[in-house]
Amino acid sequence: MTLTLLGLESSCDDTAAALVRRDAAGAGTVLSSVVQGQASLHAAFGGVVPEIAARAHAERLDHCVEQALDEAGLRLAGVDGIAVTSGPGLIGGVLSGVMCARGLAAATGLPLIGVNHLAGHALTPRLTDALAFPYMMLLVSGGHCQILIVHGPERFERLGGTIDDAPGEAFDKAARLLGLGQPGGPAIEAAARSGDPGRYPLPRPLLDRPGCDMSFSGLKTAILRARDRIVAAEGGLPRQAQADLAASFQAAVRDVLVEKTRRAMDVYLDLRPAAPALAVAGGVAANGAIREGLRALCDETVRFAAPPLALCTDNAAMIAFAGAERMAAGAPAGTDLTARPRWPLDAGAARMLGSGKRGAKA
Protein backbone atom coordinates (compact mmCIF):
# COMPACT_ATOMS: atom_id res chain seq x y z
CA MET A 1 0.00 0.00 0.00
CA THR A 2 1.29 3.46 -0.85
CA LEU A 3 1.19 5.85 2.11
CA THR A 4 1.52 9.63 2.06
CA LEU A 5 2.34 11.17 5.41
CA LEU A 6 2.57 14.65 6.79
CA GLY A 7 5.45 14.92 9.28
CA LEU A 8 6.05 17.55 11.97
CA GLU A 9 9.30 18.17 13.88
CA SER A 10 9.84 20.65 16.71
CA SER A 11 12.00 18.93 19.31
CA CYS A 12 14.88 21.43 19.36
CA ASP A 13 15.50 24.62 17.41
CA ASP A 14 14.16 23.76 13.95
CA THR A 15 10.46 24.01 13.11
CA ALA A 16 9.77 21.61 10.25
CA ALA A 17 6.95 20.09 8.22
CA ALA A 18 7.20 17.68 5.28
CA LEU A 19 5.24 15.37 3.03
CA VAL A 20 6.69 11.98 2.15
CA ARG A 21 5.31 9.12 0.08
CA ARG A 22 6.29 5.52 0.76
CA ASP A 23 5.32 2.90 -1.81
CA ALA A 24 4.35 -0.70 -1.12
CA ALA A 25 7.94 -1.87 -1.74
CA GLY A 26 9.25 0.52 0.91
CA ALA A 27 10.75 3.17 -1.39
CA GLY A 28 10.27 6.70 -0.14
CA THR A 29 9.95 10.02 -1.97
CA VAL A 30 10.20 13.43 -0.33
CA LEU A 31 7.35 15.52 -1.79
CA SER A 32 8.27 18.61 0.21
CA SER A 33 10.42 19.47 3.22
CA VAL A 34 10.22 22.82 4.98
CA VAL A 35 12.68 23.67 7.76
CA GLN A 36 12.68 26.99 9.61
CA GLY A 37 15.72 27.41 11.84
CA GLN A 38 15.72 29.54 14.97
CA ALA A 39 19.43 30.31 15.24
CA SER A 40 18.88 34.09 15.23
CA LEU A 41 16.37 33.86 18.11
CA HIS A 42 18.87 32.11 20.38
CA ALA A 43 22.13 33.69 19.17
CA ALA A 44 22.37 36.20 22.00
CA PHE A 45 22.02 33.49 24.67
CA GLY A 46 24.82 31.10 23.65
CA GLY A 47 22.44 28.12 23.45
CA VAL A 48 18.86 27.13 22.76
CA VAL A 49 16.43 28.77 25.22
CA PRO A 50 13.60 26.25 25.67
CA GLU A 51 10.81 28.79 26.27
CA ILE A 52 11.77 30.88 23.24
CA ALA A 53 12.00 27.73 21.11
CA ALA A 54 8.59 26.45 22.23
CA ARG A 55 6.87 29.76 21.51
CA ALA A 56 8.47 30.03 18.08
CA HIS A 57 7.42 26.46 17.22
CA ALA A 58 3.84 27.18 18.29
CA GLU A 59 3.77 30.30 16.12
CA ARG A 60 5.40 28.75 13.06
CA LEU A 61 4.14 25.18 12.80
CA ASP A 62 0.84 26.03 11.06
CA HIS A 63 2.67 28.08 8.49
CA CYS A 64 5.24 25.32 7.88
CA VAL A 65 2.44 22.78 7.36
CA GLU A 66 0.69 25.05 4.85
CA GLN A 67 3.92 25.64 2.98
CA ALA A 68 4.77 21.92 2.92
CA LEU A 69 1.29 21.08 1.55
CA ASP A 70 1.57 23.84 -1.08
CA GLU A 71 5.02 22.74 -2.22
CA ALA A 72 3.83 19.13 -2.51
CA GLY A 73 0.68 20.25 -4.36
CA LEU A 74 -1.44 18.42 -1.80
CA ARG A 75 -4.24 19.07 0.67
CA LEU A 76 -4.83 17.26 3.93
CA ALA A 77 -7.53 15.24 2.17
CA GLY A 78 -4.78 13.58 0.12
CA VAL A 79 -2.79 12.52 3.17
CA ASP A 80 -3.02 9.10 4.88
CA GLY A 81 -1.65 10.02 8.29
CA ILE A 82 0.12 12.57 10.45
CA ALA A 83 3.45 11.75 12.07
CA VAL A 84 4.90 14.00 14.75
CA THR A 85 8.03 13.91 16.88
CA SER A 86 6.65 13.04 20.31
CA GLY A 87 10.07 12.84 22.00
CA PRO A 88 12.81 12.94 23.08
CA GLY A 89 13.73 16.62 23.15
CA LEU A 90 12.94 19.93 24.77
CA ILE A 91 9.50 19.29 26.20
CA GLY A 92 7.93 22.65 25.29
CA GLY A 93 8.86 22.25 21.65
CA VAL A 94 7.77 18.63 21.52
CA LEU A 95 4.43 19.66 23.07
CA SER A 96 3.94 22.39 20.46
CA GLY A 97 4.31 19.79 17.70
CA VAL A 98 2.12 17.22 19.41
CA MET A 99 -0.66 19.76 20.05
CA CYS A 100 -0.55 20.96 16.44
CA ALA A 101 -0.68 17.38 15.15
CA ARG A 102 -3.50 16.46 17.51
CA GLY A 103 -5.49 19.45 16.30
CA LEU A 104 -4.99 18.46 12.66
CA ALA A 105 -5.90 14.83 13.41
CA ALA A 106 -9.04 15.85 15.31
CA ALA A 107 -10.14 18.12 12.48
CA THR A 108 -9.52 15.60 9.70
CA GLY A 109 -9.96 12.22 11.37
CA LEU A 110 -6.51 11.20 10.08
CA PRO A 111 -4.50 8.69 12.11
CA LEU A 112 -1.81 10.18 14.31
CA ILE A 113 1.58 8.54 14.84
CA GLY A 114 4.07 9.59 17.49
CA VAL A 115 7.63 9.19 16.22
CA ASN A 116 10.83 9.01 18.24
CA HIS A 117 13.12 11.76 16.91
CA LEU A 118 16.14 9.44 17.01
CA ALA A 119 14.20 6.77 15.10
CA GLY A 120 13.59 9.43 12.45
CA HIS A 121 17.34 9.95 12.07
CA ALA A 122 18.04 6.23 12.24
CA LEU A 123 15.53 5.31 9.51
CA THR A 124 16.64 8.06 7.10
CA PRO A 125 19.07 5.77 5.19
CA ARG A 126 16.03 3.67 4.21
CA LEU A 127 14.48 6.78 2.66
CA THR A 128 17.62 8.02 0.91
CA ASP A 129 19.54 4.82 0.14
CA ALA A 130 16.92 2.06 0.46
CA LEU A 131 19.11 0.15 2.94
CA ALA A 132 17.81 -3.27 4.00
CA PHE A 133 17.53 -4.22 7.69
CA PRO A 134 19.71 -4.81 9.62
CA TYR A 135 22.15 -1.97 8.96
CA MET A 136 24.57 -0.10 11.19
CA MET A 137 24.12 3.53 11.98
CA LEU A 138 26.35 6.21 13.49
CA LEU A 139 24.37 9.25 14.55
CA VAL A 140 26.66 12.21 15.26
CA SER A 141 25.40 15.75 15.69
CA GLY A 142 25.28 18.62 18.13
CA GLY A 143 22.76 16.71 20.23
CA HIS A 144 23.31 13.04 19.47
CA CYS A 145 26.00 10.40 19.46
CA GLN A 146 24.89 6.81 19.17
CA ILE A 147 26.06 3.68 17.39
CA LEU A 148 23.06 1.54 16.52
CA ILE A 149 22.11 -1.63 14.73
CA VAL A 150 18.78 -0.89 13.08
CA HIS A 151 16.89 -4.19 12.95
CA GLY A 152 13.48 -2.84 11.96
CA PRO A 153 11.28 0.27 12.06
CA GLU A 154 10.77 -0.22 15.77
CA ARG A 155 13.77 -2.29 16.77
CA PHE A 156 17.05 -0.54 17.52
CA GLU A 157 20.03 -1.99 19.31
CA ARG A 158 22.39 0.57 20.82
CA LEU A 159 25.98 -0.63 20.91
CA GLY A 160 27.40 2.59 22.34
CA GLY A 161 27.21 6.34 22.61
CA THR A 162 28.72 9.33 24.33
CA ILE A 163 28.77 9.41 28.09
CA ASP A 164 29.03 13.23 28.14
CA ASP A 165 29.09 15.77 25.28
CA ALA A 166 27.92 15.05 21.76
CA PRO A 167 30.73 15.45 19.16
CA GLY A 168 29.13 18.49 17.50
CA GLU A 169 28.88 20.16 20.86
CA ALA A 170 32.59 19.44 21.40
CA PHE A 171 33.43 20.96 18.00
CA ASP A 172 31.40 24.06 18.92
CA LYS A 173 33.11 24.47 22.30
CA ALA A 174 36.58 23.83 20.88
CA ALA A 175 35.98 26.45 18.18
CA ARG A 176 34.99 28.98 20.84
CA LEU A 177 38.19 28.23 22.78
CA LEU A 178 40.26 28.76 19.64
CA GLY A 179 38.53 32.02 18.77
CA LEU A 180 36.89 30.50 15.69
CA GLY A 181 33.28 31.19 14.62
CA GLN A 182 30.08 29.21 15.11
CA PRO A 183 28.95 26.64 14.19
CA GLY A 184 32.27 25.26 15.29
CA GLY A 185 32.42 22.14 13.13
CA PRO A 186 32.82 23.82 9.75
CA ALA A 187 35.11 26.49 11.30
CA ILE A 188 37.44 23.86 12.77
CA GLU A 189 37.43 21.84 9.57
CA ALA A 190 38.41 24.93 7.57
CA ALA A 191 41.18 25.92 10.01
CA ALA A 192 42.45 22.33 10.19
CA ARG A 193 43.20 22.33 6.44
CA SER A 194 46.37 24.34 7.04
CA GLY A 195 47.20 22.66 10.36
CA ASP A 196 49.44 19.82 11.51
CA PRO A 197 47.36 17.21 13.41
CA GLY A 198 50.50 15.85 15.08
CA ARG A 199 51.85 19.08 16.56
CA TYR A 200 49.77 19.06 19.77
CA PRO A 201 48.96 15.49 20.74
CA LEU A 202 45.50 15.35 22.34
CA PRO A 203 44.01 12.37 24.20
CA ARG A 204 41.76 9.76 22.56
CA PRO A 205 39.29 9.32 25.45
CA LEU A 206 38.05 5.80 26.29
CA LEU A 207 39.97 4.17 23.44
CA ASP A 208 41.87 2.16 26.01
CA ARG A 209 38.62 0.71 27.34
CA PRO A 210 36.62 -2.06 25.70
CA GLY A 211 33.21 -1.38 24.21
CA CYS A 212 31.75 1.34 22.04
CA ASP A 213 31.07 4.14 24.51
CA MET A 214 32.71 7.50 23.87
CA SER A 215 33.59 10.66 25.77
CA PHE A 216 34.33 14.10 24.36
CA SER A 217 34.31 16.48 27.33
CA GLY A 218 37.94 15.69 28.27
CA LEU A 219 39.08 16.78 24.82
CA LYS A 220 37.62 20.19 25.47
CA THR A 221 39.67 20.52 28.65
CA ALA A 222 42.78 19.26 26.85
CA ILE A 223 42.42 21.87 24.14
CA LEU A 224 41.86 24.60 26.73
CA ARG A 225 45.10 23.64 28.50
CA ALA A 226 47.07 23.45 25.26
CA ARG A 227 45.75 26.85 24.20
CA ASP A 228 46.58 28.44 27.56
CA ARG A 229 50.14 27.08 27.41
CA ILE A 230 50.63 28.55 23.94
CA VAL A 231 49.11 31.90 24.96
CA ALA A 232 51.36 32.07 28.05
CA ALA A 233 54.47 31.31 25.99
CA GLU A 234 53.67 33.41 22.91
CA GLY A 235 51.54 36.19 24.36
CA GLY A 236 48.66 35.17 22.09
CA LEU A 237 47.45 32.39 19.82
CA PRO A 238 49.41 32.56 16.54
CA ARG A 239 47.40 31.63 13.44
CA GLN A 240 49.51 28.54 12.77
CA ALA A 241 49.06 27.27 16.35
CA GLN A 242 45.31 27.82 16.00
CA ALA A 243 45.31 25.75 12.80
CA ASP A 244 47.49 23.04 14.37
CA LEU A 245 45.19 22.81 17.41
CA ALA A 246 42.11 22.64 15.15
CA ALA A 247 43.73 19.83 13.14
CA SER A 248 44.76 17.98 16.32
CA PHE A 249 41.24 18.26 17.73
CA GLN A 250 39.58 17.06 14.54
CA ALA A 251 41.98 14.10 14.32
CA ALA A 252 41.24 13.12 17.93
CA VAL A 253 37.45 13.16 17.39
CA ARG A 254 37.86 11.26 14.11
CA ASP A 255 40.04 8.59 15.71
CA VAL A 256 37.56 8.01 18.53
CA LEU A 257 34.52 7.86 16.23
CA VAL A 258 36.24 5.63 13.69
CA GLU A 259 37.72 3.18 16.19
CA LYS A 260 34.49 2.80 18.18
CA THR A 261 32.53 2.32 14.95
CA ARG A 262 35.07 -0.31 13.83
CA ARG A 263 34.47 -2.23 17.05
CA ALA A 264 30.70 -1.98 16.61
CA MET A 265 31.08 -3.20 13.04
CA ASP A 266 32.60 -6.46 14.32
CA VAL A 267 29.52 -7.03 16.48
CA TYR A 268 27.23 -6.17 13.56
CA LEU A 269 29.02 -8.39 11.03
CA ASP A 270 28.76 -11.32 13.43
CA LEU A 271 25.01 -11.17 12.72
CA ARG A 272 25.83 -12.08 9.11
CA PRO A 273 23.56 -9.41 7.58
CA ALA A 274 22.46 -10.20 4.00
CA ALA A 275 23.33 -6.73 2.68
CA PRO A 276 25.81 -5.19 5.16
CA ALA A 277 25.82 -1.41 5.33
CA LEU A 278 27.09 1.41 7.53
CA ALA A 279 25.18 4.69 7.47
CA VAL A 280 26.13 8.00 9.07
CA ALA A 281 23.87 10.94 9.83
CA GLY A 282 23.93 14.18 11.79
CA GLY A 283 25.71 17.48 11.24
CA VAL A 284 29.14 16.09 12.20
CA ALA A 285 28.85 13.59 9.34
CA ALA A 286 29.50 16.60 7.08
CA ASN A 287 33.12 16.58 8.24
CA GLY A 288 35.32 15.33 5.40
CA ALA A 289 38.00 13.76 7.60
CA ILE A 290 35.44 11.92 9.73
CA ARG A 291 33.44 10.82 6.72
CA GLU A 292 36.54 9.47 4.97
CA GLY A 293 37.66 7.67 8.12
CA LEU A 294 34.29 5.94 8.32
CA ARG A 295 34.16 5.22 4.62
CA ALA A 296 37.53 3.47 4.95
CA LEU A 297 35.91 0.98 7.35
CA CYS A 298 33.74 -0.20 4.48
CA ASP A 299 34.87 -2.23 1.50
CA GLU A 300 33.24 -3.92 -1.46
CA THR A 301 31.19 -6.13 0.88
CA VAL A 302 30.01 -3.41 3.28
CA ARG A 303 28.17 -0.47 1.74
CA PHE A 304 28.73 3.07 3.03
CA ALA A 305 25.70 5.37 3.01
CA ALA A 306 25.75 9.05 3.88
CA PRO A 307 22.37 10.72 3.24
CA PRO A 308 22.43 14.27 1.84
CA LEU A 309 23.04 16.79 4.60
CA ALA A 310 19.55 18.34 4.43
CA LEU A 311 18.13 14.96 5.45
CA CYS A 312 20.94 14.22 7.94
CA THR A 313 20.24 17.25 10.09
CA ASP A 314 16.90 17.88 11.78
CA ASN A 315 13.98 17.83 9.36
CA ALA A 316 10.40 16.58 9.18
CA ALA A 317 10.78 14.32 6.13
CA MET A 318 12.55 11.79 8.35
CA ILE A 319 9.62 11.95 10.79
CA ALA A 320 7.03 11.49 8.02
CA PHE A 321 8.99 8.55 6.58
CA ALA A 322 9.48 6.92 10.00
CA GLY A 323 5.72 7.29 10.57
CA ALA A 324 5.03 5.64 7.21
CA GLU A 325 7.43 2.78 8.03
CA ARG A 326 5.61 2.20 11.30
CA MET A 327 2.17 2.44 9.70
CA ALA A 328 3.24 -0.03 7.02
CA ALA A 329 4.46 -2.37 9.77
CA GLY A 330 0.99 -2.22 11.36
CA ALA A 331 1.75 0.05 14.30
CA PRO A 332 -1.45 1.20 16.00
CA ALA A 333 -2.32 4.81 15.21
CA GLY A 334 -4.79 6.74 17.33
CA THR A 335 -5.85 10.35 17.55
CA ASP A 336 -4.19 10.86 20.89
CA LEU A 337 -0.59 10.77 22.08
CA THR A 338 1.63 12.28 24.71
CA ALA A 339 4.98 14.08 24.62
CA ARG A 340 8.01 12.36 26.15
CA PRO A 341 11.11 14.40 27.06
CA ARG A 342 13.11 11.18 27.47
CA TRP A 343 12.64 8.25 25.18
CA PRO A 344 15.56 5.87 24.65
CA LEU A 345 15.54 4.06 21.32
CA ASP A 346 16.80 0.91 22.93
CA ALA A 347 15.02 0.51 26.26
CA GLY A 348 17.16 -2.54 27.04
CA ALA A 349 20.50 -0.72 26.81
CA ALA A 350 22.18 0.94 29.78
CA ARG A 351 21.13 4.56 30.24
CA MET A 352 23.47 7.10 28.69
CA LEU A 353 24.74 9.90 30.87
CA GLY A 354 25.24 12.36 28.03
CA SER A 355 22.69 15.05 27.52
CA GLY A 356 23.81 17.23 24.62
CA LYS A 357 22.64 20.74 23.95
CA ARG A 358 19.01 19.68 23.61
CA GLY A 359 18.74 18.59 27.20
CA ALA A 360 18.33 14.99 28.30
CA LYS A 361 18.11 12.74 25.28
CA ALA A 362 17.68 9.17 26.23
What spatial distance separates the first Cα and last Cα of the chain, rounded to whole Å?
33
Report the distance separating Cα 141 and Cα 153, nearest Å.
Answer: 21
- Pick from Zn ion, ligand KG4, none: which does 142 bind, CB < 5 to 8 A by kind? ligand KG4
The answer to the question of whether 152 is labelled as a binding residue is no
Nearest approach, Cβ of residue 80 and ligand KG4 (Å): 28
Residue 184 C-beta: closest distance to ligand KG4, Å: 5
Q: In whole angstroms, how close is the CB of 95 to Zn ion at the nearest point?
A: 17
| Closer residue to Zn ion (CB): 242 or 313 | 313
Does the annotation flag 141 for ligand binding? Answer: yes
**Among candidates 180, 196, 287, which has minimal Cα distance to 247?**
196
Q: Mind giving me the DSSP string for 235-267?
A: SS--HHHHHHHHHHHHHHHHHHHHHHHHHHHHH
Q: How many beta carbons lie within 10 A of that of residue 358, not counting itself?
A: 26
Site of interaction with ligand KG4 (CB under 6 A): 12, 141-143, 168-169, 171-172, 183-186, 189, 282-284, 286-287, 313-314
Q: Specify the residue, 5 or 53, whose C-beta has the smaller distance to ligand KG4.
A: 53
For residue 63, say whether it is annotated as part of any ligand binding site: no
Instruction: Tell me how many degrees the CA angle 226-229-230 measures, rounded to the nearest 5.
Output: 90
Q: Is 81 annotated as a binding residue?
A: no
Q: Which lies closer to Zn ion via its Cβ, residue 218 or residue 341?
A: 341
Restricting to residues 302-321, name those near Zn ion by CB under 5 A: 314
- Answer yes or no: is 80 a known binding residue: no
> 3-state DSSP call for residue 31?
strand
Q: Which does 184 bind (CB under 5 to 8 A by kind): ligand KG4, Zn ion, none?
A: ligand KG4
Packed helices 184-192 and 288-295: angle between N→C axes, nearest 10 degrees: 80
168 binds, among Zn ion, ligand KG4, none (CB under 5 to 8 A by kind): ligand KG4
Residue 171 interacting entry, from ligand KG4, Zn ion, none, C-beta within 5 to 8 Å by type: ligand KG4
For residues 337 and 114, what is the distance between their CA atoms, to the nearest angstrom? 7
34 annotated as belonging to a binding site for a ligand = no
Q: Which is nearer to ligand KG4, 226 or 246 (CB)?
A: 246
DSSP state of 357: T
Type of residue found at 34 = V
The span from the CA of 27 to the CA of 325, in Å, is: 10
Kindly list the residues in this chain that would bind Zn ion in the complex (CB under 5 A). 314
Q: Which residues are annotated as a binding site for substrate?
A: 139-143, 172, 185, 189, 287
| Annotated binding residues | 117, 121, 139-143, 172, 185, 189, 287, 314
